[in-house]
Amino acid sequence: MNVPVRSLYIHIPFCGSKCFYCDFNSYVSSETVMERYTDALCKELTMIAQTDSALPLRTVFFGGGTPTLLPPRLLEKILQTLHQFYSIEADAEITMEANPGSVDSDTLRIIKEHGVNRLSFGVQSFDDTMLHSLGRLHDRNTVYRSFEMARKAGFYSINLDLMFGLPDQTLELLEDSVSQLLMLAPEHVSVYGLKIEAGTPFAKWYDAGHLQLPPEHAEVAMYEFVQQSLADHGYEQYEISNFAKHGHKSRHNIVYWRNEPYLAAGAGAHGYVGGRRYANIKRLDPYMEELEAEKRPIESVESISVEMEQEDTMMLGLRLAEGVTYDRFFTRHGVAMQEVFGSVIQDFAGKGLLEVDESGVRLRRSAYIVGNEVFAGFIDI
């Protein structure tokens, strides 16, 4: 079944500096470059609207980079273009990523006036020494100030990102960060374990033996501590890394996990439309040049076969606490889940990693930490 496209991702690839662990497509650039990028992005948004989008959008997500690093007038231009060329549902979720310290009252007022109703702050830790060693630009006090500013500006749906498994991080240090976070009472929390990504300063230091990462058992203890603390404070864990208060699950990210289609604009952005996944040109100059020549900046397109689509539905859907229901699978693929994946499911259920009932299949909570092993079992069966 062809699922209609109701979501849009917009990539803003600018940061104040590069964090030591980061391999996202982001750059430290001048305002002149940001201005040129904004023009290119607005052109791409109009092109997409003319070709791909028909139905009103339900979710829009501004990711980065640090979208709020753009000067307010440029953010306003992008948001005006969005509203001019796209129909957006009245209760759509419009999220913007931000970093503590990258927001001021002007920026917050403008984005709110243009419909942004959810903010996601990359906090990562409340420990100043830890933040410094990650190459983050903010400190703990900046988090408090930015959070308060966002509340004052009228944002009542805020996510805070936290990281664990960091160099020299102890369970005690993480406990302190979690308790600081809980005092702020955000509506949503995302918690990620550090991964050493190739090409980053962290990868270089790790290879040279200069990074002391917590051992695996300590990392597991950290993850379990976060799960328990957030559950004790009324957050529902609805995905391996995501926790929400009632009514505040990320609707945009659920689109990804349910393997539904989405549009994407911006350098290096990835979209999924009409059974095809596409990737935009990553580097800023060639991305902007393509648009200046009135061309869509698409670098690669991959047609997703029926088998790949079914595999993706399982791999992504099993990240969700709700798992994959038989109904959803059948409606989407026109075939019973058990017919395609019956033996894999039986195998993992036998190992105690999957839970199977009359409605569908889900990862057991005790298996979240080894989720990747299960997901891999659904590929190329």
Binding interface with ligand SF4 (CB under 6 A) = 15, 18-19, 22, 24, 26, 64-66, 99, 122
* Least distance from ligand SF4 to the Cβ atom of residue 198, Å: 15
* Least distance from ligand SF4 to the Cβ atom of residue 15, Å: 3
* Least distance from ligand SF4 to the Cβ atom of residue 133, Å: 13
* Least distance from ligand SF4 to the Cβ atom of residue 21, Å: 7
Do 65 and 41 meet the contact criterion of CB atoms below 8 Å apart? Answer: no
* Least distance from ligand SF4 to the Cβ atom of residue 256, Å: 18
Q: Which is nearer to ligand SF4, 18 or 258 (CB)?
A: 18
Q: Which is nearer to ligand SF4, 28 or 381 (CB)?
A: 28
Question: Around Cβ 71, how many Cβ atoms within 10 Å?
Answer: 14
**Cα–Cα distance between 127 and 308 in angstroms, integer?**
42
For residue 284 the two structure tokens come to 């800023």
For residue 56 the two structure tokens come to 């009103």
**Cα–Cα distance between 31 and 55 in angstroms, integer?**
34
Q: Which is nearer to ligand SF4, 24 or 144 (CB)?
A: 24
For residue 236 the two structure tokens come to 């529902």
Q: Which is nearer to ligand SF4, 122 or 167 (CB)?
A: 122
Q: Which is nearer to ligand SF4, 137 or 344 (CB)?
A: 137
Helix (H, G, I), strand (E, B) or coil at 93: strand
**Cα–Cα distance between 153 and 321 in angstroms, integer?**
33
* Least distance from ligand SF4 to the Cβ atom of residue 26, Å: 4
Q: Which is nearer to ligand SF4, 62 or 238 (CB)?
A: 62
Do 163 and 193 meet the contact criterion of CB atoms below 8 Å apart? Answer: yes
* Least distance from ligand SF4 to the Cβ atom of residue 102, Å: 8
Q: Which is nearer to ligand SF4, 166 or 315 (CB)?
A: 166
The residues that bridge with 355 in the sheet, in sequence order, are 362
* Least distance from ligand SF4 to the Cβ atom of residue 101, Å: 10
Q: Which is nearer to ligand SF4, 16 or 115 (CB)?
A: 16
Do 110 and 76 meet the contact criterion of CB atoms below 8 Å apart? Answer: yes
* Rounded (to 5) percent helix, strand, coil in the chain: 45, 20, 35
Helices (H), the chain: 31-51, 72-85, 105-113, 128-134, 140-152, 171-184, 201-207, 216-232, 251-257, 284-292, 306-317, 326-333, 337-350, 371-376
